[in-house]
Amino acid sequence: MERCACVERELDKVLQKFLCYGQHCERGLEELLGYVTRLREELGAAALQRTPLSATLSLVMSQCCKKIKDTVQNLASDHKDIHSSISRVGKAIDRNFDADLCGIVPAVVWESQEKQILVMAIIEHLYQQGMLGVAEELCQESTANVDVDFKRPFLELNSILEALRKQDLEPALSWAIFHRQQLAELNSSLEFRLHRLHFIRLLAGGPGKELEALSYARHFQPFAHLHQQEIQVMMGSLVYLRLGLKNSPYRHLLDDSHWTEICETFTRDACALLGLSVESPLSVSFAAGCVALPVLMNIKAVIEQRQCSGVWSHKDELPIEIELGMKCWYHSVFACPILRQQTTDSNPPIKLICGHVISRDALNKLINGGKLKCPYCPMEQNPADGKRLIF
Ligand SMILES: [Zn+2]
């Protein structure tokens, strides 16, 4: 924290100077323009009268030239001053943060194929955040080949969400009705919630909307068995329509939070249905990196200090386990108890017939004369009987 504060202080100084510089510049240039205009007028008049320059005019002219020179010099020195402040920010960053991340990131990350994955993650993030223009621009500049099929779900979800934020339920409702079957399979209550919001909006319209609200209530029929209680509450609220819902025990129905909730429900259920993650992979990785980076920097320093830099090979593994918190738990991983390496697609976990699990690399190393002896129990078996496990 202290490190950030130090850089922030330097940044503040630069901003302050920029502000002053802007004001100085403006004032200096205005003054100069004034001089030049006056000079031009007087010279023009002298030329018209075909008279040689008077002593006064010569004096004004030389004063003017001096003034111009001074102003330019002042601006240049101000500029230099700002420049030195900017370089102080850079130095503060260098001093307070370790710029050398090479030891932590394997160089292969920046090679063309891996880099393409990074570009795609950034593009996906931009689409997911609804920054469509920036995403398009990046696609063009990075010459990333983005399929129309890749973009389509993001564009669709964004336009529906945009409408929902403006309290326009129509696009979301047609989407939910179109995907009714799939949403039901996901146990989603999205369509019911959208109808409910439409109904509440009719209620908010007062007694004049009573008939319309009653007839709209027919939309709840398919959801009656799942949301009976909520439907009863809405029907009950009709009793207070003439008095005004605001002063009734049902005033919570008008709460604005329903609109925030519906946006969240829509995003969650639509992403689940389309096989997209609710949070962009880039922001998840970034958040995880913020937690992991300081730990990795420390490990790197220790490894260098003890002069055992060959210990960490970067091959799909970290030198130690880093706790990222429950939020980052997605799936289980398996580390081979023999080789102490995390298993991967190319080196998957294998379950032996005795029930013990080791990695394929370990299994291959343990084969002796076509037979395998389990390192734990130690049952002798045919290596081909082992079955791959998926975690
Ligand atoms: Zn065994």
**Which pLDDT band holds residue 164 (cuts at 50, 70, 90)?**
very high
Whether residue 170 is predicted with pLDDT greater than 90 in this model: the reply is yes
Q: Which of residues 207 and 109 earns the better pLDDT score?
A: 207
Q: Give the mean model confidence (pLDDT) for residues 212-237.
A: 89
Kindly give the distance from the C-alpha atom of residue 377 to the centroid of ligand 1, in angstroms, as a whole number.
4
Helix 257-274 and helix 170-178, axial crossing angle in degrees, nearest 10: 40
| Residue at token pair 């790197």 | 300
Kindly give the distance from the C-alpha atom of residue 343 to the centroid of ligand 1, in angstroms, as a whole number.
18
Third-level CATH fold of 331-391: Herpes Virus-1 (3.30.40)
**Which pLDDT band holds residue 36 (cuts at 50, 70, 90)?**
confident
Which range is least confidently modeled, 71-85, 210-224, 319-333? 319-333
Q: Is the pTM of this model over 0.75?
A: no
pLDDT tens track for 250-293: 888 888 889 999 999 999 999 888 888 888 888 888 888 888 88
CB neighbours of 77 closer than 8 A, spacing ≥ 6? Answer: none
Kindly give the distance from the C-alpha atom of residue 333 to the centroid of ligand 1, in angstroms, as a whole number.
20
3-state secondary structure of 371: strand
Kindly give the distance from the C-alpha atom of residue 135 to the centroid of ligand 1, in angstroms, as a whole number.
53
- pLDDT in the model for residue 351: 95
Q: How far apart are CA 266 and CA 194, in angstroms?
A: 9
Kindly give the distance from the C-alpha atom of residue 317 to the centroid of ligand 1, in angstroms, as a whole number.
26
* Domains of the chain by residue range: 2-96, 118-274, 331-391
Instruction: Please list the residues that pair with 198 across neighbouring strands.
Output: none
- pLDDT in the model for residue 350: 95
pLDDT > 70 in the chain, percent: 95
A 10 A CB-CB count for 305 gives 8
pLDDT tens track for 281-317: 888 888 888 888 888 888 878 887 887 766 666 566 6
pLDDT tens track for 342-386: 888 899 999 999 999 999 999 999 998 889 999 998 889 999 999
Kindly give the distance from the C-alpha atom of residue 321 to the centroid of ligand 1, in angstroms, as a whole number.
26
Which range is least confidently modeled, 21-35, 152-166, 305-319? 305-319
Whether residue 74 is predicted with pLDDT greater than 60 in this model: the reply is yes
CB 213 within 8 A of CB 238: yes
CB 150 within 8 A of CB 120: no
Whether residue 114 is predicted with pLDDT greater than 80 in this model: the reply is no
Kindly give the distance from the C-alpha atom of residue 75 to the centroid of ligand 1, in angstroms, as a whole number.
80
Kindly give the distance from the C-alpha atom of residue 335 to the centroid of ligand 1, in angstroms, as a whole number.
17
- pLDDT in the model for residue 93: 84
Beta-carbon-side half-sphere exposure of residue 345 (alpha carbons within 13 Å): 0
